[in-house]
């Protein structure tokens, strides 16, 4: 079918209709930047044709060169047959206005924490200029570390990950944003390599998928690094370490912000003594918690 398409399709509108039909027919799963077949098809077509990804309408009836049709159809074929997330096909991911290079060495950025950083964690951070040291734990592509460095301009950021492959991707993004003098990339199993450091702000989007959910993940998600997804039977193995060790790394009045997926109920049952503050995001108030240094028992 894809081979035949290169001979029959000639406009962006043709390709868009074809892509949406194939994506729906294949029952693809989305969630790596696009919410549905139409949005993902439009993005892949515009990106492949080197057109602005936020302007589809002016180009819908543009006739394409045969080689352009071939390039687009090949990308669509790979999306359907390989179930590869769009971000890996284009080597880019977006968090709001921030663009990051990504490939199969890192999880595709999609953290709710990014939304909160754009507002400088107001009202929990009253004076952004007083955030001098920050840690992005499980940094992956480096996206949250870069956002912190950009949005808290007086801050030095440590970006930690266990995976040296992920840190290579993060290094590329840090260089792209010209932040090498403000972000230090550190290979570490959670806090091990930074245990002697202290921070005003720690953020983390750690692995948090429970074992049962990992086993049921769609093929698109299984193409991401396994290390970045699963975290024990209940999804809280990494979060337990964070809650145990973060208090000693936080400065006075320091903040800890952690994303935990759908694990709010399990987490609250496991730590009834901790006064979690659940932060409102576009997905609701059950995905990201905040704790202050003083919230931890002494």
Q: What is the pLDDT of residues 110-148, one digit of tens each?
A: 899 999 999 999 999 999 999 999 999 999 999 999 999
- Of 195, 285, 284, 286, nearest in space to 242 by CA: 195
Distance, first Cα to last Cα, the chain = 65
212-258 pLDDT per residue, tens: 776 677 888 888 887 666 566 677 889 999 999 999 999 999 999 99
pLDDT of residue 229: 65
* Residues of each domain in the chain carrying CATH 3.40.50.150: 96-295
* Location of each CATH 1.10.8 domain in the chain: 2-90
User: Under CATH, which number does the domain 96-295 receive?
Assistant: 3.40.50.150
Cα separation of 79 and 28, whole Å?
9
CATH topology of domain 2-90: Helicase, Ruva Protein; domain 3 (1.10.8)
Predicted TM-score (pTM) of this structure: 0.93
Taking only Cα atoms into account, the Rg of the chain, rounded to an integer number of angstroms, comes to 21
State pLDDT tens for residues 18-34.
999 999 999 999 988 88
Nearest to 46 by CA among 13, 77, 23: 13
Burial class (CB in 10 A: 0-12, 13-18, 19+), 241: middle
């Amino acid at each position: 079918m894809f081979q035949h398409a290169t001979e029959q399709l000639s406009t962006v509108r043709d390709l868009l209709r074809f892509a949406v039909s194939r994506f729906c027919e294949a029952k693809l799963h989305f969630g790596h930047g696009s919410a549905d077949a139409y949005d993902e098809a439009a993005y892949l077509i515009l990106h492949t044709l080197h057109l602005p990804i936020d302007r589809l309408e002016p180009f819908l009836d543009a006739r394409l060169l045969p080689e352009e049709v071939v390039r687009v159809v090949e990308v669509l074929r790979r999306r359907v047959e390989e179930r590869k997330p769009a971000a890996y096909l284009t080597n880019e991911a977006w968090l709001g206005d921030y663009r990051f290079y990504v490939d199969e060495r890192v999880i595709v950025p999609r953290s709710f924490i990014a939304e909160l950083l754009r507002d400088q964690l107001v009202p929990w951070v009253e004076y952004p200029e007083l955030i001098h040291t920050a840690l992005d734990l499980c940094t992956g592509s480096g996206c949250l570390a870069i956002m912190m460095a950009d949005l808290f301009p007086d801050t030095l950021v440590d970006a930690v990950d266990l995976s040296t492959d992920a840190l290579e991707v993060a290094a590329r993004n840090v260089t792209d944003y010209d932040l090498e003098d403000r972000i230090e990339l550190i290979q570490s199993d959670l806090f091990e390599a930074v245990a002697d450091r202290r921070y005003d702000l720690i953020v983390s989007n750690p692995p948090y998928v429970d074992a049962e959910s990992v086993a049921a993940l769609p093929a698109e998600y299984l193409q991401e690094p396994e290390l970045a997804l699963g975290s024990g039977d209940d999804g809280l193995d990494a979060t337990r370490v964070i809650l145990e060790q973060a208090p000693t790394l936080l400065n006075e009045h320091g903040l800890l912000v952690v994303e935990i997926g759908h694990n709010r109920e399990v987490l609250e049952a496991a730590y009834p003594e901790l006064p979690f503050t659940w932060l409102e995001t576009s997905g609701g108030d059950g995905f990201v918690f905040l704790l202050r240094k003083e919230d931890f028992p002494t």
